[in-house]
Amino acid sequence: MQKKVSVIVPVYNSEKYLYDCLDSICNQKYSNLEIILVDDGSTDSSGTICDDYAKMDSRIYVIHKKNGGAHNALVAGIEIAEGEFIGFVDSDDWIDSDMYRCLVDTIGDSDLISSGIRWYGKDGTIVQTRYDALPPGIYDAQDNNTCRKFFIRDGAYEGVGVGGITNNRVCKLFRTSLVKSVYRQADQKIVNGEDFLFCFLYLLRCKTIKVIHSAFYNYRYNESSVTHNPNPRFLEERARLYDTMLSAIKDYSKDDMLYTFFQQRFLYELYSMLDYNLGINPSISFPMYRFPNEKLLSGKRIIVFGSGRCGISYIKLFLWNRLCSVVEWIDNNPSTIQIMNISPRLPNTILQTEYDYIVCAINNQNAAQNMIEQLMEMGVNRDVILWEKPINIFADVFLQSHSFDERVC
């Protein structure tokens, strides 16, 4: 007999995407589901849509409640979950039809199975697919060396995620008994970092986890999401997050090095998100990315393509170090930012500019390829277009596990 999976979906004003989300869950090839929809005080038609689906599918249970935030909505669903496993889906995303069948068939006796996640950009195309920065396999979560790698990337394996195990709860399958235990301890006042906190607390309770490099979850960029808006209470919430996590380490682990590894990871998260969440002007923020092959640019005339965080970092470092001459800064959607009297302009300005190289300032390889193709369509020679995976300065500082003397472990 199939083991029951409780799928919890917090819903708030997501009528635009809710049909896609619910259809993808109801049409799962794994049928023994308990689908819990928590309408967190939606003011659009989301609540009605949930009720309509409940009438069509007996596996669906709807909770209507006063708005209390994502964490509060999750707790409401978790409290009534009866399945052996719990999965989470955000109401503006969707999942592949074989997601829960594959996760249940693969988890075995492990307390957690973690899979990949596809990220879709504003234009609906896949920006990247993220997997855990650990090779596929079964891991002993009680082993100190292994546990540390859950939080800091293993230097022997190149992955996309910041830590060994991604923060995303939606691409994982959890055991219900452990989930209920975790959410009793989690701080409901923490909004930004709630996934980080939950996954952290859950991992500390695991005996074994399984990692697979298959992606079933489809994450949709949604500008109205709380995770894509500045949070004026960011520092306050991060302080609460830090205290909660430190307390958990003391309760569940005697490994002093895990404490240090956690501090590395926490500092990275803090520094990398500080300027955005506090609304700090990007022109005065510290550069986060560096172009890997700077020697190639020495003394050259450079056009920087991209005005996001990577582009801003490149512009600052090129200008500060006087490594090269920045003759133009371009972007398809130029912002009003100005750095040392240089502001981004539309790409067609390069037709009147003399240059040696165009440097694509973007972190994602797929996006970089699109930029390269755009430039070539404009008549730019491929040989003068440069892109390399940017060096994350903050990651180098905070996330290098080999920076510690392993002999003390």
- Per-residue pLDDT of 250-294, as tens digits, reads 887 777 777 777 887 788 778 878 887 887 877 788 888 999 999
Pair (223, 301) in one structural domain: no
Does position 162 have pLDDT exceeding 60, yes or no?
no
Pair (75, 223) in one structural domain: yes
Pair (88, 160) in one structural domain: yes
Q: What is the mean pLDDT of residues 37-51?
A: 97
Pair (221, 300) in one structural domain: no
Q: Please, which residues bridge with residue 85 across strands?
A: 5, 175
Q: What is the mean pLDDT of residues 32-40?
A: 98
Q: What is the pLDDT of residue 52?
A: 98
Pair (26, 113) in one structural domain: yes
277 is written with which tokens?
Answer: 């969440």
Domain-terminating residue out of 178, 205, 227 = 227
C-alpha–C-alpha distance, residues 252 and 330, integer Å: 50
- What is the b/e burial string over 382-394, where b = at least 16 CB atoms within 10 angstroms of the residue's CB? eeebbbeebebbb
Q: pLDDT higher for 407 or 168?
A: 168
Pair (188, 298) in one structural domain: no
Pair (68, 151) in one structural domain: yes
Give the domain CATH number at 373: 3.40.50.720
Query: 355: how many CB neighbours lie within 10 A of its CB?
Result: 17
Q: Is 197 domain-assigned?
A: yes
Q: Is 250 domain-assigned?
A: no
Give the domain CATH number at 18: 3.90.550.10
Q: What is the mean pLDDT of residues 23-32?
A: 98
Does position 173 have pLDDT exceeding 90, yes or no?
yes
Q: What is the pLDDT of residue 268?
A: 78
Q: Is 264 domain-assigned?
A: no
Domain extent for 91:
5-227
Does position 154 have pLDDT exceeding 70, yes or no?
no
Domain-terminating residue out of 194, 227, 260 = 227
Q: What is the pLDDT of residue 402?
A: 41
Average pLDDT, the chain: 87
C-alpha–C-alpha distance, residues 124 and 212, integer Å: 25
- What is the b/e burial string over 91-116, where b = at least 16 CB atoms within 10 angstroms of the residue's CB? bbbbbbeebbbbbbeebeebbbbbbb
Q: Which residue in 362, 401, 391, 398 sits closest to 288, CA to CA?
A: 391
Q: What is the pLDDT of residue 202?
A: 92
Pair (159, 295) in one structural domain: no
Pair (330, 186) in one structural domain: no
Q: What is the pLDDT of residue 158?
A: 42
Q: What is the pLDDT of residue 302?
A: 97
At residue 296 the predicted structure's pLDDT band, cuts being 50, 70 and 90, is very high
Under 8 Å between Cβ of 91 and 11: yes
Pair (212, 75) in one structural domain: yes
Query: 84: how many CB neighbours lie within 10 A of its CB?
Result: 15
| Torsions phi, psi for 139 (to 5 deg) | -120, 140
Does position 161 have pLDDT exceeding 50, yes or no?
no
At residue 58 the predicted structure's pLDDT band, cuts being 50, 70 and 90, is very high
Q: Is 240 domain-assigned?
A: no
C-alpha–C-alpha distance, residues 120 and 128, integer Å: 7
Q: Is 313 domain-assigned?
A: yes
Q: Is 380 domain-assigned?
A: yes
Does position 409 have pLDDT exceeding 70, yes or no?
no
Domain-terminating residue out of 193, 227, 261 = 227
The percentage of the chain sitting over the pLDDT mark of 70, rounded to a whole number, equals 90
Q: Is 403 domain-assigned?
A: no
Number of domains in the chain: 2
Pair (193, 96) in one structural domain: yes
Does position 164 have pLDDT exceeding 90, yes or no?
no
Q: What is the mean pLDDT of residues 149-153?
A: 64
* Helices 234-252 + 256-277 axis angle, to 10: 170
Q: Is 50 domain-assigned?
A: yes
Under 8 Å between Cβ of 117 and 219: yes
Pair (50, 172) in one structural domain: yes
